[in-house]
A and B are shown apart, each in its own frame.
Chain A
């Protein structure tokens, strides 16, 4: 059943797979309890996995002494999360399109494309080390032409 109340959570976790996995499960359980449907949850789950992987591996270079800071807001209308790492950031506009030419055969570089496809809002801070993601309730999965 959809909850009418607002849920917020702030936390700081180390850059380890175990910490990220546990937080990811907790966040998804909370979204499920608050009435998000399976398609929204699939989209949120994929975006979280990709965003956390970017923060831990690319941002914090998998250094467990570096932290990932998470600000979560769930309302009746939306799932809203910011994920910040302690890396030097990047320019998301400069990322090569993984669907073009030789990039299609590369083993990495699809995370941001998938986040863009599955979330309704994706924006970065100026430094490029904090991503803000929003999924509006009921928007479900992307429609592929």
Chain B
């Protein structure tokens, strides 16, 4: 796993990988590529990964990030794992609702709820 990405912190809670993007705004292609380069090996190396992405720090994102989340979700499902998202700012949650991706991803209000039964 690439732990060198300063834009993402990863910790394990009861064997759930909790990934926290640290940037307040994710919009630039370089940021998205850097996140992808960290997420993909992490998922490949852990068969059946349980991955929680905590968006506490994120206040703005673009449709390119939604594309990244779909690629991450595909990869997680290929490895027979599960992906959950939590702590999404209400303004960003609207983006998920407009695009109906709130029906694709498992979204939780806070980290504790997301970890329950995961």
Binding site for B on A (CB under 8 A): 17, 21, 39, 42, 45-46, 49-50, 53, 98-99, 104-108, 110-111, 113-114, 117, 141-142, 144
Contact = CB atoms under 8 A, between A and B. Distances in A.
B70 A105 contact: yes
B100 A104 contact: yes
A5 B66 CA distance: 38
A108 B67 contact: yes
Interface in B1-36: 27-30
Contact of B95 (A39, A46, A53, A99): A46
5 contacts: A53-B63, A107-B67, A107-B68, A108-B63, A141-B94
A54 to B, nearest CB: 10
Contact of A17 (B29, B70, B95, B97): B29
A36 to B, nearest CB: 15
B27 A49 contact: yes
B65 to A, nearest CB: 10
Report the contact-size class of chain B (Cβ under 8 Å from the partner). Answer: 20 to 34
A39 B64 CA distance: 21
Contacts of A114: 63, 95, 98-99
Contacts of A110: 63, 66-67, 99
B60 A53 contact: no
B28 A21 contact: yes
Given A104-B104, A113-B99, A114-B98, A45 B66 contact: no
Nearest to B62: A49
A113 B98 contact: yes
Contact of A42 (B29, B60, B68, B103): B60
